[in-house]
Amino acid sequence: MKVAAVYTSTTPELIEMVESELKSRFNGENLEIVSLKNPGILKEARDMGGVTPHCARELVSLYEEAVKSGAEIIFNICSSIGDVAALAKPLYESCGVSFVRIDEDMARAAVKAGRRIGVLATLRTTLEPTKRLIKACADEAAVKVELVDALADGGFGMDQEQFKKLLIETGGKIKDKVDVLVFAQGSMAYAEKAVSEALGLPVFSSVAYGARAVKAAADKRAEDKQKTALKGGVLNPSA
């Protein structure tokens, strides 16, 4: 199974976590990971205070590169450009390519776990797309949620121990107002346990949820191929 992981943040910790989780989920099964990266997209979004048309075009060019490489699953890693991913997902899936947003299943799980949800980020540009995703998942589940956000300003690029302390400090400012905390960026995932233990709250981060969703998409593709074969359809031998 060929999976294209699309990054706009290229921190080594994030890439290592994503690849490790994917390999763990597939557990020795045939898996080829293609990493497609353009950190300029995130930089532009940060500099401009949001996703620009140019950011969107550059991101779509990565998706197109993924398809041309033969990827069966596009794994969108960045949450700051989540609104673009939301629009792209049905388009690519209608073209036969599975599309997984790293944070979608995480948001669904957070909605199930609590009605007062804290959204913690180190980039302001990630807060609103993540909040919109959580609200969409709440609407899907027909429940109402209250969102409280907190920005760990200056945390982007910090060393791990300092970063954990900053997240604990920032999360502590809203912990009495929320039932659960959501990390808005996949790169924050390694701090999940430390923050949860320090604040006494469930903390949801996206990498593990996203990898699990990729495996589910792969299993569904395999099942669909098997059904096609049983019906006498013609399978693509390269798939």
Whether 146 contacts 116, CB under 8 Å: yes
Residue pLDDT, tens place only, 170-180: 999 999 999 99
Looking at the fold, whether 31 and 115 belong to one and the same domain comes out as no
Residue pLDDT, tens place only, 202-236: 999 999 999 999 999 999 999 988 888 887 755 45
In this predicted structure, the answer to whether residue 76 has a pLDDT above a threshold of 60 is yes
Task: Please report whether residue 239 resides in a domain.
Answer: no
- Number of domains within the chain: 2
Mean pLDDT of 127-148: 96
In this predicted structure, the answer to whether residue 155 has a pLDDT above a threshold of 90 is no
pLDDT score, position 233: 55
Whether 228 contacts 239, CB under 8 Å: no
Which secondary-structure segment (H or E) carries 32? strand 32-37
Average pLDDT, the chain: 93
Assign 239 a pLDDT band (cuts: 50, 70, 90).
very low
Report the distance separating Cα 119 and Cα 114, nearest Å: 12
CATH number of the domain where residue 68 is located? 3.40.50.2300
pLDDT score, position 28: 80
Mean pLDDT of 116-130: 94
Task: Please report whether residue 23 resides in a domain.
Answer: yes
Task: Please report whether residue 74 resides in a domain.
Answer: yes
In this predicted structure, the answer to whether residue 108 has a pLDDT above a threshold of 80 is yes
Report the distance separating Cα 101 and Cα 119, nearest Å: 17
Task: Please report whether residue 24 resides in a domain.
Answer: yes
Domain that holds residue 162: 104-204
Task: Please report whether residue 177 resides in a domain.
Answer: yes
Looking at the fold, whether 30 and 55 belong to one and the same domain comes out as yes
Task: Please report whether residue 112 resides in a domain.
Answer: yes
CATH number of the domain where residue 121 is located? 3.40.50.1860
Task: Please report whether residue 136 resides in a domain.
Answer: yes
Mean pLDDT of 69-92: 95
pLDDT score, position 101: 97
* Closest of 138, 131, 133 to residue 112, by C-alpha: 138
Looking at the fold, whether 84 and 168 belong to one and the same domain comes out as no
Let me know if 6 is exposed, middle or buried by CB neighbors in 10 A (0-12, 13-18, 19+).
buried
Length of the chain: 239
pLDDT score, position 231: 79
Radius of gyration of the chain (CA): 18
Looking at the fold, whether 224 and 142 belong to one and the same domain comes out as no
Task: Please report whether residue 235 resides in a domain.
Answer: no
In this predicted structure, the answer to whether residue 120 has a pLDDT above a threshold of 90 is yes
